[in-house]
Chains A and B, each alone.
Chain A
Amino acid sequence: MIDAVGNPQSILLLGGTSEIGLAAVEAFASDRPMRVVLAARPSQRLTDAKARLEARGCAVETLDFDAKALDTHASVVEKAFAEGDVDVAIVAFGLLGDNEEAWTDGAKAVELAQVNYTAAVSVGVALGDRLKQQGHGSLVALSSVAGERARRSNFVYGSTKAGLDAFYTGLTEALRPFGVTVTVVRPGFVHTKMTEGLKPAPLSTTPEAVAEVIVHAVRTKQELVWAPAPLRFVMSALRHVPRPVFRRLPL
C-alpha cells in the first residue's frame, strides 16, 4: 500500500537495468526499505543492482524479462504480483538507436518501434489489468520530450515515444476509476549510458534528478511531469515554432 504521505512498500521495475529506473527505485528505497522486483534480461548490471538495493535493506527479486518477447509479458507481470501487491510499477525499458541507421534500415526501425512502443503497450495492458484488480497503485511510464515534436536528428526514437506517450496518457484516464494513478514522465536529455557520446541538449539532466521528479510525482499523484520541470514551458513554446524556424534551431 502507498501510505498517507506517499511511501510505497513495493516497486516493480520493467527494464530492471535502466539507469533512470534504478535511480528511481533507489530514491524510493532511501526513504524506507521496500520489496523490489527487477525485471530484465540477466546481466552483471542486474546482479550489481540487486546487490546494491539489498545493501539498503530491500528484499529484491529478479525476473527474466525480454521486451521483445511479447508473448511472455503477461506471465512476467503475473509473477511480479504473485508475492503481494505492487504499489509502483515503472516502465523504463527502451532503445535510443542511431537515427540515421534507423530511418534507412527497416529492421532497425522496426526494432525501435517494437521495443519502445509495442512492448510498452503490451506490458501496459498487462499491468493495467493487474492494477485494476488491485484497486490501487501507481504506474509510471518513461516517455521523452523527443516525442513532443519530432526533430530531424532523433525522429525515429521520437515517434516511438510519441506513441508510448499517447497510450499511457489515455491509460491514465482509463485506470483512474479503478484507483490507479498513471504518471507519464517526459525527461529531456539525460546523461546515461544510452546517451554516452552524444552532444547534450540544453537543460540536460541526470538519472538521479529524473528519479527525484518521479518520486515526487508518485507521492503527489501527478499524472504528467517533465524533467527538469522548466522543460514543460520550453516544449510548449517549441511545439508552436514554425517549421522553417524549427529546422534551423540547433537541436
Chain B
Amino acid sequence: MTAAARAGCRLRRHAVASVAWLPMTSPASETRTLHGWGRTAPTVATVITPRTPEEVAAAVKAAGRRGIIARGLGRSYGDPAQNAGGTVLDMTGLARIHTIDADSGVVDLDAGVSLDTLMRRALPFGLWVPVLPGTRQVTIGGAIGADIHGKAHHVVGSFGNHVEAMTIVLADGSTRELTPEGPDAELFWATVGGMGLTGVIVRARLKLHHVETAYFKVDTEQIDNLADLMDRQTRDDEKYAESVSWFDAVTTGEHFGRGLLTRANHATLADLTPKQRRDPLKFDAPQLLTVPDVFPPGMLNRVTGRLFSELWYRKSPTKLGAIQNITQFLHPLDIAGEWNRGYGPHGFLQYQFVVPLERGDVIRTVLERMTEAGQVSALNVLKRFGEGNRAPLSFPKPGWTLCVDIPIGPGLNELCEDLDRIVLDAGGRHYLAKESRTTPEAIRRGYPRLEEWRTVRAAVDPAGVFASDLARRLELI
C-alpha cells in the first residue's frame, strides 16, 4: 500500500456525535461473583458497566468503603480484577477505536477495546500490535495495567513502551492525560504495570508497527534437552523478532526439558505463496469451539500430561522458514474459547517468574522440584527477556522467564512456597498478572521499587479508593 493510499484509508470517527446516541440513564449495575482466568478464589462485587468516561468518573466518585477497580476481559489468572464487597468496572463497555493513522501507526482508542479487535481493525492498514501475549482477549487498559509482554520482548519491550499517551480517571473523579515524558511521567509509569491501582485508564494512544503481511516466517527447532534449548536461545535470539520455547516438563532422564524453540520474523510479501499474496494482511484467527464447563478435576494427570507432551513435541520436527499465520504461530489456544474450563472446577494456577540471565540454573531447579513433587504441567513456556522499562512494578527485566500451568490439588501450596524461595533467593520475581497465591513479603523482595510506586500512588489516591483483592492480598496499597 502506498503512503497516499494509506492516508486515504485513514479512519476517523466522531466521538461527540456518537455520544448523543447514548441514553441518558445510569449504567447497568449488578452483583456478580468474579474470578480470574485460573478460576480460583472467587469473590462477590457490584459490577458496573460504564459507556463513557463520565460514567467511569461518576462510579469512582460513588465508590463505597471497599473501593473500586477496573476489569477488562478477565484474563489475569489471579485476583487483580476483582474487588470483594466493592465495585468493579466492566470496561468492555468503552470499546471504540477513535482514529487509526495509517502513516504514523498511531491509534487512538478506548481502554475497553481488545487486542483482538485492534488487530482486526489495524491489520488492513498494514499495522501490527507490537506486543502480543499468549491471547488476544486482553483489553488495552489491562495490557497497560499489567504491562504485558510477548514473544517479541527481547526486541520491542513490554506494552507500556508503545503507549504515547493515556487518559485516566483519578480517585477524585478528575481526568488526566499522561505521557511517558510529560509533567506526569511518574504517574504514567506508576500506571504502567500498576494493576489498575492508580486510576481507571479510559483511553490511550498507541504506536503500532508497520508490516507487509500478517504471516510469520518461522524456524522451529526440536531440541532434546533443556541445556541445549537454553543455549540455543541465548546465542542468536537477536536475529528474530519473536522467540519463545515450549518444553516438556514430564519426561525425565537425559531428555529432561526437551522442547521446541520457535522463532520468527514477520514474513515479507516475497516470502508468501501466490495464494497468500492475494490477501497478505488476512486476519486468520478463528475460534472454532467453546470448551463446555463439564470437566471433572484431574483431567491433567501424569498419563494425559505425558501423552500431551509427547504429541506436542513430536508434532513439530525441526523446520526452518515455514510460513505460519497468526493462530499457528502466536495464539494456538485462542482456537478454543474458555479453554480454562478443561482444568475442571477447582481451577489451576499459572506460576510465572523471571530470574536474572546468570541464574539460568534456576529454571532447571524449578523443573526438578516440580517433577519431584509429582506436579504435572503441560503448557510450559520459557523466554529470554530483553531490557525492562521505567515502570516500578513492570515485571520484565533482563533474564529468563518461565511459565507453568498447574491444576489446583494437594501438595501444590508446599511446592509453590518452595519455588518462591528459590526464585527470590536468585533475585527473581513474580508476574502480578499471573500471581494468585504468594505472600506480600515475596512481592516486596521481588519489586525493590514498590515503595517508590506506593508514594506516587498515595499522592493521587490518599484515601485508597482504588482497591482489588490482589492489592489486599499482597498489601500493595
A220 to B413, CA, bound (A): 13
Contact: A1 with B31, CB < 8 Å?
Answer: no
Q: Which residues of A contact B (CB under 8 A)?
A: 1-7, 9, 31-32, 84-85, 133-136, 177-179, 220
Give the residues in chain B near A9, CB-CB below 8 Å.
473
6 contacts between A and B (CB under 8 A): A1-B41, A1-B472, A4-B436, A7-B437, A85-B472, A136-B85
What is the minimal beta-carbon distance from B428 to any residue of chain A, in angstroms?
A: 20
- Collect the chain A residues with CB atoms within 8 Å of residue B413's CB: 5-7, 31
- Residues of A near B41 (CB, < 8 A) are 1-4
Assess whether B91 is interfacial by the CB under 8 Å rule: no
Residues of B within 8 A of A2 (CB): 41
Tell whether, in the assembled complex, residue A1 and residue B416 are in contact, meaning their CB atoms are under 8 Å apart: no
**Interchain CA distance A5-B417 in the complex, whole Å:** 11
Q: Does B197 contact A (CB under 8 A)?
A: no
Answer yes or no: B38 CB below 8 A from chain A CBs: yes
Q: Looking at the complex, which one of A1, A6, A84, A178 makes contact with B469 (CB distance below 8 Å)?
A: A1
A136 touches B43 (CB 8 A): yes
| B84 in contact with A5 (CB, 8 Å) | no
| Chain A residues positioned under 8 Å from B408 (CB to CB) | 4-5
Check B78–A178 contact: CB distance below 8 A: no
Give chain B residues whose Cβ lies under 8 Å from the Cβ of A3: 40-41, 436-438, 473
> Given A135-B66, A135-B84, A1–B79 Cβ distance below 8 Å?
yes
What residues of chain B lie closer than 8 Å to A85, measured between beta carbons? 84, 472
B83 surroundings in chain A (CB, below 8 A)? 135
Contact B42 A179 (CB under 8 A): yes
Binary flags per residue of B74-113, CB closer than 8 Å to A gives 1, else 0: 0000110001111000000000000000000000000000
A220: chain B residues within 8 A (beta carbon): 346
The distance in angstroms between the C-alpha atoms of A85 and B83, with both chains bound, is 12
List residues 2-47 of chain B with CB under 8 A from any CB of chain A: 31, 33, 38, 40-45
Given contacts A6-B413, A85-B472, 20 further A-B contacts (CB under 8 A): A1-B79, A1-B84, A1-B469, A1-B473, A3-B473, A4-B38, A4-B40, A4-B408, A4-B436, A5-B437, A9-B473, A31-B413, A32-B439, A85-B84, A134-B66, A135-B45, A136-B84, A178-B44, A179-B42, A179-B43
CA distance A4 to B40 in the complex (A): 5
- Chain B's nearest CB lies how many Å from the CB of A193? 32
Say yes or no for B50: interface residue by CB 8 A criterion. Answer: no
Provide the bound-state CA to CA distance between A179 and B412, in Å.
24
Q: Please state if B416 and A179 are interface contacts (CB–CB under 8 Å).
A: no
| Top 5 A-B residue pairs of the complex, sorted by shortest distance between their CB atoms | A135-B85, A179-B44, A135-B84, A4-B436, A4-B40
Interface SS of B by simple majority:
loop
B48 at the interface (CB under 8 A from A): no
- With a cutoff of 8 Å between Cβ atoms, the chain A residues found around residue B42 in the complex are 179
CA distance A135 to B198 in the complex (A): 22
Q: Which residues of B contact A178 (CB under 8 A)?
A: 44
Q: With both chains docked as a complex, state the minimum distance between the C-beta of A180 and any C-beta of chain B, in angstroms.
A: 8
> Out of B44, B84, B416, which one reaches A177, CB within 8 Å?
B44
Q: Using Cβ atoms and an 8 Å threshold, which residues of chain B touch A136? A: 43-44, 84-85, 469
B347 located at the interface, meaning its Cβ lies under 8 Å from any Cβ of chain A in the complex = yes
Which residues of the partner chain A approach B416 to less than 8 Å between Cβ atoms? Answer: 5
Within B344-364, which residues are at the interface with A (CB < 8 Å)?
346-347, 349
**A31→B439 CA distance, assembly (Å):** 12
B38: chain A residues within 8 A (beta carbon): 4
> With A179-B43, A179-B44 given, is the CB distance from A4 to B472 under 8 Å?
no
Tell me how far the C-beta of B284 lies from the nearest C-beta in chain A, rounded to whole angstroms.
Answer: 35
Q: Which residues of A have CB within 8 Å of B346?
A: 220
- Report A-chain residues with C-beta under 8 Å of the C-beta of B43: 1, 135-136, 179
What chain A residues lie within 8 Å of B66 (beta carbons)?
Answer: 133-135
A32→B436 CA distance, assembly (Å): 15
Which chain B residue lies CB-closest to A137? B84
**Which one of A5, A7, A31 lies within 8 Å of B349 (CB-CB)?**
A5
Question: What CA separation (Å) do A7 and B472 show in the bound complex?
Answer: 14
Q: Which residue of A lies closest to B65 (CB)?
A: A133
In the assembled complex, the Cα of A5 lies from the Cα of B66 at a distance in Å of 24
**Minimum CB distance partner of B77 in chain A:** A4
CB nearest neighbor in B for A5: B413
- Chain A residues near B84 (CB, 8 Å)? 1, 85, 134-136, 179
Contact A4 B347 (CB under 8 A): yes
The answer for the CA separation of A220 and B408 in the assembled complex, in Å, is 10
B402 to chain A, nearest CB (A): 18
Q: In the bound complex, what is the Cα–Cα distance between A180 and B61 (angstroms)?
A: 27
Given contacts A5-B416, A135-B44, contact A179 B436 (CB under 8 A): no
Q: How far is the CB of A87 from chain B (nearest CB, A)?
A: 10
